[in-house]
């Protein structure tokens, strides 16, 4: 997907596989469910945000760790406003996406970086394009990951 083309790109919904048992036949079936923040409320509680991030980034757990390191699993500050960076006030939300560098591209994708679902969707997109490079300033916290935990696909 190229942002320079001017075309609007649509990011797929993040789904998480779940195995269920069909009671009639006793068969195991795998279905996918969409991971949405509204199912993890209230999002003012970092424990709920942490659960959301772990489920949302189940295939790339390093991103959940980055979210924990960048924002301490918070999307909102104590006043209920979207979290701003402590060192760089242009960083926003749970994944601390920098508005100066990424807001225009996020908007082209139809994403609002102040919305937690869009914030994590853009983080996933950014990670697929650039790896963990945008979050290197917090790497002392999250880089302790074992190589097999960086991406599970």
Which residues in 87-124 are b (16+ Cβ under 10 Å) and which e?
Answer: eeeebbbbbbbebeebbebbeebebbbbebbbbbbbbb
Res 63: pLDDT: 96
The residue extents of the domains of the chain are 36-149
Q: Which residues of the chain have pLDDT under 70?
A: 1-33, 145-153
What three-state secondary structure class fits 37? helix
**d(C-alpha 10, C-alpha 108), whole Å:** 9
Residue pointed to by tokens 């993040």: 14
């Amino acid at each position: 997907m190229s942002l320079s083309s001017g075309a609007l790109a649509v990011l797929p919904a993040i789904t998480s596989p779940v195995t269920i048992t069909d009671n009639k036949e006793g068969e195991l079936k795998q279905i996918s469910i969409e991971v949405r923040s509204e199912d993890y409320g209230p999002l003012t509680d970092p424990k709920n945000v942490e659960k959301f991030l772990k489920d949302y980034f189940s295939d790339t757990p390093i991103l959940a760790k980055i979210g924990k390191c960048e924002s301490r699993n918070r999307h909102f500050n104590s006043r209920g406003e979207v979290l701003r960076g402590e060192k760089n006030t242009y960083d926003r939300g749970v994944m601390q996406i920098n508005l100066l560098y990424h807001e225009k591209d996020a908007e082209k994708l139809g994403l609002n970086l102040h919305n937690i679902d869009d914030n994590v969707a853009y983080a996933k997109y950014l990670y697929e394009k650039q790896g963990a490079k945008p979050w290197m300033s917090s790497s002392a916290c999250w880089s302790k990951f074992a190589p097999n935990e960086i991406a599970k696909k």
